[in-house]
Amino acid sequence: FTPIGIVIATTDGNSPSVNHFAFLSTPFSPSFSPLVKRGQYCLVDTFQGQIIGLVEEIHIMNNYFHDFQTVKNFTVANLQVNHFLPSDEWEIQIAEVQVLGYIHTNKKIETISSPEEFKMIESSGFPVKPGNQVYLLQGEFLHYFLGFKTNGLQIGTLNHYSTSVSLDLNRLFNKHVAILAQSGAGKSYLVSVMLEELLMRPSSVGTPGMILIDLHGEYRFLKQKIELNTIDKDKIGEIQSKIQIINASFMQIGISDMLPYDFQRYQPNITYPQLRELQQILENLDQNQTRVDLNELCKQIEKQTEINSKTQSTLIAWLEDLARLNIFTQTTKPCITDLIHPGKLTILDFSTILSMRKKQILVDFFTKQLFYFRRKRQIAPFILFLEEAHNFLPEKDSKSAFAKHILETLAREGRKFFAQLVLISQRPVRLSTTALSQCNTHIIMRITNPYDLNHIKNSSEALTNDSIKIISSLPTGSVVILGGATNYPVFFKVRRLLLTPYRKEISLESESQSFMPLIHK
């Protein structure tokens, strides 16, 4: 273990405490590069074991620069302080540390030899002692402390370390995941890396099926031809053979697979008397094993002479409104059992559909079918990745958010049946609190909106005010993960994609230039 400082007692009396302490960074001379950085982990010997903490902030102090008038006089005279005074020798670094827990052991740090001892972490109930040496936590010891798994999903590199962030698949997905970040922070890239890791897992280990709701066609590149790559073409071909892309414009809902109440949910203007008549007709068709589309269903209703004429005409009008969506037919396509296969990915590309109502109905129906089939063990365990989750799971009640009920049900009950959910959103404040609270792991990238930050903080006990400040200033591709996937909050940089070079963003300038030849014609 590398010594990096000494615990100090601050004049305000806040350090050291049970939850926090500060230390003076060593070496003190600025001619050395500072050893400690924000986001690193450290440990301190105590009488009951080792306390481990996360460096949340670093301050640099220098008594020679406390007198503003002296600094001003040197500046006006165009003189440098360190040419006349030993100011460099008075520069000190103070690191603020959030206590994460402690290892209950009688051993001193110098005598700890096995990383296994860092698996048993307990909550700290006592502060560190001023004057104690602070050490940098790194290597296998850090690996065990954070709960990383050898041969896990390697999605990035720990900030200020060379350690790979290797996550246990079970811990990451078993109780759902929320990926939250503002637009342009790198959500799609991160999701692509996670999918890539899942697709590269060998067939000898169990991997759930994956299904991705892609609203803007951002993930089609995963299946595209690759020219530049860092792994061999055979390997790429093998991985891409596990991916299928389905154009959502060709997705269809079979009338025989719908419940009577589904019609009322998708067309709320249908009244209960109309619904009773519709239910009777659907039951008769089911008994006769007759498959119909909505147009044929309307004809069946017209034949029913015993139905009140006003009820009949109004019901037909509402069903014709649904028919104009062109998604209700005799048979459901694609077949639910064709969507989920262990270790394979199905991308449902909704980029060609503009109607949000149509998207809501398709997502609602197919999610219900997936969950039903999974509960009956007719399909393999699966992970559902949902882009722009706030549109399908809004916090406020909305009659047009047809998919909200089944998605919240999946969030509450899915883990019992190994039906996992990954919610991806750039507006956490608009996302259902019910669903978000069921996500045991939060993966957060840069967010600057104060309402979103406050919403996230209220939904995660692991986030402190200092952590919130770090999140608002994270560069693109930098991530904090907290919750069930790791033992403690982890800040890391997303690794580069191996399968294919990620699509380049088209700038406003280049898009405008592409239209210049058209203007001159």
Q: Are strands 490-494 and 441-444 parallel, antiparallel or unpaired?
A: unpaired
**79, 112, 146: which is the final residue of a domain?**
146
Number of domains in the chain: 3
CATH no. for residue 388? 3.40.50.300
- Measured CA to CA, the distance from residue 325 to residue 358 in angstroms comes to 7
Q: Digits of tens for pLDDT over the chain (521 positions)?
A: 788 999 999 878 788 999 999 999 876 544 555 578 888 999 998 887 889 999 988 888 877 677 777 777 777 777 776 666 666 677 788 999 999 888 877 777 766 766 676 666 788 888 899 999 999 988 888 888 888 998 899 999 998 888 899 999 999 998 999 999 998 888 999 999 999 999 999 888 899 999 999 999 999 888 876 655 555 677 778 888 999 999 999 999 999 899 889 999 999 999 999 999 999 988 888 887 778 888 888 988 888 878 888 988 999 999 999 999 999 999 999 999 999 999 999 999 999 999 999 999 999 999 999 999 999 999 999 999 999 999 999 988 878 899 999 999 999 999 999 999 999 999 999 999 889 889 999 999 999 888 888 888 777 666 767 677 778 888 888 899 988 999 888 989 999 887 765 556 678 888 788 887 655 55
Check if the beta carbon of residue 117 is closer than 8 Å to that of residue 103.
yes
> For residue 6, which of 129, 169, 159 has the smallest C-alpha distance?
129
pLDDT score for 465: 74
In the block, residue with structure tokens 């246990």: 168
Residue 153 covered by a domain:
no
Tens-place pLDDT, residues 146-183: 889 988 999 999 988 888 999 999 999 989 999 999 98
> For residue 243, which of 256, 226, 228 has the smallest C-alpha distance?
226
Residue type at 269 in one-letter notation: N
123 shares its domain with 224: no
Flag whether the pTM goes above 0.85: yes
Q: Which domain holds residue 483?
A: 166-251+334-494
226 shares its domain with 321: no
Check if the beta carbon of residue 197 is closer than 8 Å to that of residue 497.
no
271 shares its domain with 210: no
**91, 112, 146: which is the final residue of a domain?**
146
Residue 220 covered by a domain:
yes
